[in-house]
Amino acid sequence: MMNLLRLIGGRAASAPVARERLQILLAHERGLRGQPELLGLLRAEILAVVSKHVVLDPEKVIVRMERGKHVSTLEVDIEVPNGFERSLAAAV
């Protein structure tokens, strides 16, 4: 019936396109929701743990999350100043 109407009308129905676009977009947006809080929390706790042993610049701790279709990756990038072993030795 729909196909027949479409043939007569000469135009493809656009609602299925709308539906598909929305489903893809919202799956992505729902994934992002609440994520800043999670990353902030992870960053703060990682920073606290590492800082116990190494003197760090808090600005140099980067936590990033990439969401894939099947798996996501959590990337933690911590820049450690040279000579941190010395500060460690001093602490011991």
Q: Which is nearer to other proteins, 29 or 75 (CB)?
A: 29
Distances (CA, A) of 49 to 2, 24, 43, 75, 87: 61, 38, 10, 17, 16
**Residue numbers at the binding site for other proteins (CB under 8 A):** 2, 5-6, 9, 13-16, 18-19, 21-23, 25-26, 29-30, 33-34
Residue 26 Cβ vs other proteins, minimum distance, rounded to whole Å: 5
Residue 80 Cβ vs other proteins, minimum distance, rounded to whole Å: 36
Contacts for 77 with CB less than 8 Å, ≥ 6 apart? 61, 62, 63, 64
